[in-house]
Amino acid sequence: DGSGRWMRAVGVPAKSSVSGGVVLAARGRLGAAVVSPPLDEQGRSVRGRLASEALSDELHLHAFAR
């Protein structure tokens, strides 16, 4: 499902909306929000996912990489 794919790719819990918003929460490390309306087939922000992946990679936030 979509949440499993998100966790494998990004590794940070998040909530998305059909308006293009994404809110991430890496406990004790980061809280972030991204808003960018172009959506993918699942109704999630394309740029929001890419930005979330970049933040996770750059700041070593992925939950499964520890």
State the Cα–Cα distance between residues 38 and 14, nearest whole angstrom: 18
Band of residue 2 on the pLDDT scale cut at 50, 70, 90: confident
Specify the CATH number for the domain of residue 56.
Answer: 3.40.710.10
Element (H, E) at 34: strand 30-35
State the Cα–Cα distance between residues 29 and 43, nearest whole angstrom: 27
Range of the structural domain that residue 29 is part of: 2-65
Q: Model confidence over 17-44: pLDDT tens digits?
A: 999 999 999 999 999 999 999 999 888 8
Q: Tell me the percentage of the chain whose pLDDT exceeds 90.
A: 80
For the chain, what is the domain count?
1
**Helix, strand, coil: what percent of the chain each, to 5?**
35, 25, 40
Band of residue 66 on the pLDDT scale cut at 50, 70, 90: low
Instruction: Walk across the sheet containing 30-35 and list its strands.
Output: 14-16, 21-26, 30-35
State the Cα–Cα distance between residues 16 and 60, nearest whole angstrom: 21
